[in-house]
Amino acid sequence: MTQDTHRNRARTIRQHIVDLLSEDEMSARELSQAIGIREKEVYDHLSHIARSAAAQRKRLIVQPSRCLMCGYVFEDRKRLTRPGRCPRCKRSHLQEPTYRVS
């Protein structure tokens, strides 16, 4: 695959993600299933979308993860990926973060 082909494909995937997130709030897992790519790839695309959204007069809104056991909310988390466990109760029963473009 040439570099230009890879760029066009990546741009298309990112545009598809932006289109989906403009319509509805979704998790990385839901996006990966809707587009047919790995969840890890979704996070890579989300970081690019977050940086380029301002140029399109849009923004990536992140609804943070929440611990389903103790209610801790990961409000100050800068990374877009899903956290592994709760810092308060040390459990890993967490609600996934969700994303939306507006």
pLDDT (tens digit, 9 = 90+) per residue, 65-75? 999 999 999 99
Q: Are 99 and 14 in contact (CB under 8 A)?
A: no
Q: Are 27 and 96 in contact (CB under 8 A)?
A: yes
Dist. CA 61–CA 101, nearest whole Å:
6
Q: What is the CATH number of domain 3-101?
A: 1.10.10
The pLDDT of residue 12: 79
Write down the pTM of the prediction: 0.83
Distances from the Cα of 67 to the Cαs of 62, 93, 97, in angstroms?
Answer: 16, 6, 11
Does residue 6 register a pLDDT over 80?
no
pLDDT (tens digit, 9 = 90+) per residue, 8-57? 454 679 999 999 999 999 999 999 999 999 999 999 999 999 988 888 88
Domain ranges of the chain: 3-101
The pLDDT of residue 3: 52
Alpha-carbon Rg for the chain, nearest whole angstrom, is 15
The pLDDT of residue 55: 82
